[in-house]
Amino acid sequence: MTAGTPPGVAAGERFRSWAEIAQRAQKAAGALAALGVGEDDCVALMLRNDFATFEVNMAAGQLGAYAVPINWHFTAEEAGYILADSGAKVLVAHTDLLARIAAGVPAGVTVLAVPTPDEIAAAYGVPAERRVVPPGAGDWDAFVAAGVPDTRPPRASRGSMIYTSGTTGRPKGVRRRPATPAQQALLAGEAAKYWGLRPEPGTVVLMNGPMYHSAPAAYGMGSARLGLSMVLQPRFDAEDLLRLVDRHKVTHMHIVPTMFVRLLRLPDAVKQRYDLSSLRWVTHGAAPCPPAIKRQVIDWWGPVINEYYGATETGVVVWHGSEEALRKPGTVGRVVEGAVLRIVDEQGRDVKPGEIGEIYLRGPNLADFTYNNDDAKRREVALGDLVTVGDVGYQDADGYLFLCDRKRDMIISGGVNIYPAEIESVLIQMPGVRDCAVFGIPDDEFGELICAHVEPQPGANLDAPSVRAWLAQHVANYKVPKVVEFAAALPREDSGKIFKRKLRAPYWEKSGRSI
């Protein structure tokens, strides 16, 4: 960004103003309406962060449709499930991603391709032949150009329907009721309070997290609605992040603890090469941040680090800034105004300060939700009007929340939620596997790594490479275990269920932490 540049999005050497993106989104809305997309319908997108990411979200919002972001690491099988479950009428995807998932797209879905840009192709090694629109797909730019602008008043906002994995092994779509104008105004106030996003001169937002995740999606679209200048990093690289902050005078960004670790590991000479004095508000969440890491980043960047805790289902529920992080090492903060948090025992009774229990939450302003096509799962996680994502922790006497463990088996690796049940359900189908257990083990960089313990069938000849190769055919690469161990018999409870805690405990005892 340079002085005099109109507010918009910079991506590599490309730039598109918010005015142009809004005009294209209006035309896209008209074109989508002509395809029959209307209120409560779904428009799926499988895009890395790009201009089209904002255009698709805005166009769907104009029509009162849900934008359904799909993790671009997903296989054809995984993406196909979300397309089918959401009933998406349209899929917009980068050309190289389409080539990978084309076999999983259900019949009747209109497919529109966005040519993969230079900076993304360079970052991910996309060959030239995968940067052109494949046969059977329409061209997004041509589709937009041919659209008649939809100039009707916007329908009630549904926002995104984010699919969050569940302990049953299949992702669940968090489908919200339409937001009222009052709720939208309150959410804008939240973005200002807890993410520092305000329409102030000189604000420049760096987007380095993928907008298929709920927090980066909310952060990116919140910035877009405010018309803030934005810079897209095609793929996280620690030194490149510092270079972009220096070059564009970045003031705000959303980050995950894994990024902090990689940034701190840069040589001192590299850290000192870049001017970071423009930073005003750095937000992080998605995974616990070790207190020592946070202290080092605050020492380096100053008291600009802010942390929140919540979930796709609840939004921000807990928050704190740098001063509190130094005063209360390890906390994720205190409950924000209007939110509710309860910590309960196995009988659903509130525990006392300092006592550990399961955490139930309600955000202050988000519209209520259900899980798409599965109200029963919504009821399973409820305690009155609160919900749990399976985290266990305690509040101290001052009301500060500390996370201790996860009641459910979710793994958080690099800020990404991974559910062992999904991996186990695939691995158990591998020829020669009698039983298996998948869980997280500690890692200094990613927080956790995926570990699989496998009990082979008698006489089976299995090894770690063959297990990984089998899983890679069915799940995204980031879900493939880094560590694979074999045992003739896995430990079991009296019920016959694998005693996963006995497998997991030795790894964590050595690390001195439990989450």
Per-residue model confidence as pLDDT tens digits over 41-69: 999 999 999 999 999 999 999 999 999 99
Residue 214 maps to a domain = no
pLDDT above 90 covers a percentage of the chain that reads 77
Give 270 or 514, the one with higher predicted confidence.
270
pLDDT value for 250: 97
Give a yes or no: residue 8 inside a domain. no
Q: What is the CATH number of the domain that holds 75?
A: 3.40.50.980
- Separation of alpha carbons 513 and 415, rounded Å: 17
Hey, what amino acid is at 334? Answer: R
The range of the structural domain enclosing residue 448 comes to: 411-511
> What is the residue-averaged pLDDT of the chain?
92
Task: For residue 254, count other CB atoms closer than 10 A to its CB.
Answer: 27
Each residue's pLDDT tens digit, 130-139? 999 999 999 9
Token match 């999606």: residue?
217
Torsion on CA atoms 28, 32, 38, 41, rounded to nearest 10: -100
How far is residue 92's CA from residue 140's CA, in Å, rounded to a whole number?
7
Predicted local distance difference test score (pLDDT) of residue 287: 75
Q: What is the mean pLDDT of residues 214-222?
A: 94
Give the integer Cα–Cα distance in Å for 57 and 99. Answer: 22
Residue 260 lies in a domain: no
On whether the CB atoms of residues 448 and 413 are closer than 8 A, the answer is yes
Q: Is 515 a residue whose pLDDT tops 80?
A: no
Residue 224 resides in a domain? no
In a domain, 431, yes or no: yes
Task: State yes or no: pLDDT of 342 exceeds 50.
Answer: yes
DSSP secondary structure letter of residue 97: H
CA-closest candidate to residue 49, choices 283, 289, 245, 233: 233
pLDDT for residue 3? 60
Confidence band (pLDDT; 50, 70, 90) for 167?
very low
Q: Which of 126, 152, 176 is the last residue of a domain?
A: 176
Q: What is the pLDDT of residue 4?
A: 59
Mean pLDDT of 441-461: 93
Share of the chain above pLDDT 70, in %: 97
Residue-level pLDDT at 183: 85
Are the C-beta atoms of 53 and 67 separated by less than 8 Å? no
Pairing status of strand 305-311 against strand 315-320: antiparallel
Residue 233 token pair: 């990093």
Find the mean pLDDT for residues 227-255: 96
Domain of residue 507, CATH code: 3.30.300.30
Identify the band that residue 265 occupies on the pLDDT scale cut at 50, 70 and 90.
confident
Residue that terminates a domain, selected from 154, 176, 198: 176
Least confident among 166-180, 222-236, 389-403: 166-180
- Which among 176, 68, 71, 56 is positioned nearest to 422, based on CA atoms? 71
Question: How many structural domains are present in the chain?
Answer: 2
Residue 196 has pLDDT above 50, yes or no: yes
> Per the domain annotation, does 77 fall within a domain?
yes
Write down the pLDDT at residue 290: 82
- Rounded to an integer, the average pLDDT of 433-446 is 91
pLDDT above 70 (res 2)? no
Last residue of a domain, one of 131, 153, 176: 176
pLDDT tens-digit profile of 312-326?
Answer: 999 999 999 999 999
Tell me if residue 104 falls in helix, strand or coil: helix
The Cα 492–Cα 485 span in angstroms is 16
Residue 433 covered by a domain: yes
> What secondary structure does DSSP assign to 211-279, as a single string?
TTSHHHHHHHHHHHHTT-EEEE-SS--HHHHHHHHHHHT--EEEE-HHHHHHHHTS-HHHHTTS--TT-
In a domain, 371, yes or no: no
Name the more confident of 370 and 165: 370
Give the pLDDT score at 404. Answer: 80
